[in-house]
């Protein structure tokens, strides 16, 4: 299975676990908020308005007994409503880092504070809860489910958080309208162009109203005109006050962001404002 498809299944599977657990908790009448276990380990003042705080994040994979160190001590602060492009050569660890940022994977070491909560060692089902609330993820290969229509694909995250069907469809259509695809809601993914497919994937990432949007090469497979359309959508999402982080190999796409973080061999090689970022008030 494609790693990104596995991620998608994990994304929704995790949410499903959370739902079952909630039922159990309800049955047992346990009057306890699981979030109590995850008190922020710092006062918010310390990190200022950082929505993402990474402290020496490591990630290793094991092939047999051999350790492959992919991320080697990434420390990074991303403020609320920043627009960051993540760049770097193939294999430098961008997707690995994005998966950790999106709570799809846990680091092997280091600390990840997301919106004031230490998520570095959170169990999978609690991570799913955080993910569902905070994060919209646009995958490299759209990952739309082929048997579902565009609207059903967009509505998928709402199935897992228990939104009633009528409301799900209303919200999905509203999102498709936002990305300019209201007239394609009944199309299946193979009846859409590449750019339209990507817009459906963006609508799906936005349907839960997340405040952080993570996109792994969202324009990787698109022509330049369609890429501009997609980047305009991200621009709007950012203008609405959300935090946007996207991976790209293209400098002109990175220049839509305000800050570029470059990875090389699992470390941050540079972290600089783009020309657009340099114009921002401090």
Q: Give the interface segment with ligand ATP, choosing from 22-30, 83-91, 122-130, 229-237 (CB under 6 A).
A: 83-91
Q: Give the interface segment with ligand ATP, choosing from 49-57, 93-101, 144-152, 175-183 (CB under 6 A).
A: 93-101
Q: In Å, what is the CA distance from 133 to each residue of 129, 137, 144, 209, 234?
A: 6, 12, 21, 8, 19
7, 15, 92, 95: residue in contact with Mg ion (rule CB under 5 A): 95
DSSP string of 158-203, one letter each residue: HHHTT--HHHHHHHHHHHHHHTT-GGGTT--GGGS-HHHHHHHHHH
Under the binding rule (CB under 6 A), the answer on residue 143 touching ligand ATP is no
18, 84, 93, 126: residue in contact with ligand ATP (rule CB under 6 A): 93
Nearest to 260 by CA among 52, 75, 53, 84: 84
68 binds, among Mg ion, ligand ATP, none (CB under 5 to 8 A by kind): ligand ATP
Under the binding rule (CB under 6 A), the answer on residue 251 touching ligand ATP is no
Q: Give the interface segment with ligand ATP, choosing from 16-24, 92-100, 174-182, 230-238 (CB under 6 A).
A: 92-100
Nearer to ligand ATP, 45 or 64 (CB): 64
Element at 77 (helix H, strand E): strand 66-79
Q: Which residue has the tokens 């995958």?
A: 139
Under the binding rule (CB under 6 A), the answer on residue 92 touching ligand ATP is yes
Under the binding rule (CB under 5 A), the answer on residue 243 touching Mg ion is no
Distance, CA of 124 to CA of 108 (rounded, Å): 14
Distance, CA of 152 to CA of 200 (rounded, Å): 10
Binding residues vs ligand ATP (CB under 6 A): 61, 68, 70, 88, 90-96
């Amino acid at each position: 299975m494609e790693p990104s498809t596995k991620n998608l299944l994990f994304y929704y599977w995790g949410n499903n676990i959370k739902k079952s657990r909630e039922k159990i908790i309800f049955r047992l009448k346990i009057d306890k908020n699981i979030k109590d276990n995850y008190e922020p380990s710092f006062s918010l003042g310390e990190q200022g308005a950082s929505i993402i705080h990474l402290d020496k994040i490591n990630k290793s994979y094991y092939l047999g007994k051999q350790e492959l160190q992919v991320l080697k001590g990434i420390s990074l602060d991303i403020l609320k409503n920043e627009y960051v492009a993540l760049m770097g050569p193939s294999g430098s660890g961008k997707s690995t880092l994005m998966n950790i940022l999106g709570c799809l994977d846990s680091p092997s070491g280091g600390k990840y504070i997301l919106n004031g909560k230490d998520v570095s060692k959170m169990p999978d089902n609690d991570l799913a809860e955080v993910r569902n609330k905070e994060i919209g993820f646009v995958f490299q290969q759209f990952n739309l489910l082929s048997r579902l229509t565009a609207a059903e694909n967009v509505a998928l995250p709402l199935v897992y958080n228990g939104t009633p069907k009528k409301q799900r469809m209303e919200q999905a259509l509203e999102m498709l309208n936002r990305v300019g695809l209201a007239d394609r809601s009944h199309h299946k993914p193979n009846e859409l162009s590449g750019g339209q497919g990507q817009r459906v994937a963006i609508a799906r990432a936005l349907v839960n109203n997340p405040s952080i949007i993570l996109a792994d090469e969202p324009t990787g497979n698109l022509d330049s005109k369609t890429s501009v359309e997609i980047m305009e959508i991200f621009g709007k999402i950012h203008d609405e006050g959300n935090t946007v982080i996207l991976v790209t190999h293209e400098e002109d796409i990175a220049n839509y962001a305000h800050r570029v973080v470059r990875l090389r061999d699992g470390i941050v090689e540079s972290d600089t404002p783009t020309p657009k970022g340099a114009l921002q008030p401090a």
